[in-house]
Amino acid sequence: VISDSATLAILGYVFYNIVYAGFSYPLGKLSDKYGKKKIYSGGLLIFSVVYLGFATLESVYIIWALFALYGIYAAATEGIVKAWITDLIPDEFRGSAIGLLTMFSSLAIMLGSFLAGVLWDQFGAEAPFLISSGISFVIVIIMMLSKKL
């Protein structure tokens, strides 16, 4: 028997994926028109807002808006970063570069999940969300100030 909270979690994940799928192509087109850096940075900014929202959530109804925004974040970053790499790396190294990106992204996700668990255990549920939100916001600022990207 699936509990109500488990059902809501599954529905939230399904909703996130529907939004992610629905926004991936339009945001990819926008990145071709306005630049990958702008769309990717916008995605990270959305991530920062979503994680701040998760940390300060006071109403269960807001979580649906956060899951929608989280899907937009994924659509603005996942495919676009790979396309961006193909713009930055010479042809003969593109496959290797995307492979390295995927490898390091996977390692970062594993390490991040572990650290989030430690932070949650030591400082409460809000800590990993607040820290992730802050770090992503700083990265957006650095990216926007960088002329080389």
Q: Are 39 and 76 in contact (CB under 8 A)?
A: yes
Q: Read off the pLDDT band of 2 (50, 70, 90).
A: low
Q: Read off the pLDDT band of 121 (50, 70, 90).
A: very high
Q: What is the pTM of this model?
A: 0.90
Q: What does the pLDDT read at residue 18? A: 98
pLDDT exceeds cutoff 90 at 28: yes
Q: What does the pLDDT read at residue 124? A: 96
- Tell me the C-alpha distance between 135 and 140, whole Å: 9
The region that residue 35 occupies, defined by phi over 0 for left and psi between -120 and 50 for alpha, beta otherwise, is left
Q: What does the pLDDT read at residue 1? A: 44
What three-state secondary structure class fits 57? coil
pLDDT exceeds cutoff 50 at 15: yes
pLDDT exceeds cutoff 60 at 92: yes
Q: Are 22 and 73 in contact (CB under 8 A)?
A: no
Q: Which residue did the predictor score with more confidence, 2 or 3?
A: 3
* Total tally of structural domains belonging to the chain: 1
Question: For residue 116, what are the domain limits?
Answer: 4-145
Q: What does the pLDDT read at residue 99? A: 96
Alpha helices in the chain (DSSP H): 4-34, 36-56, 62-88, 94-123, 126-145
Mean pLDDT of 64-88: 96
Q: What is the mean pLDDT of the chain?
A: 94
What does the pLDDT look like over 31-68, one tens digit per residue? 999 999 999 999 999 999 999 999 999 887 899 999 99
49: CATH: 1.20.1250.20
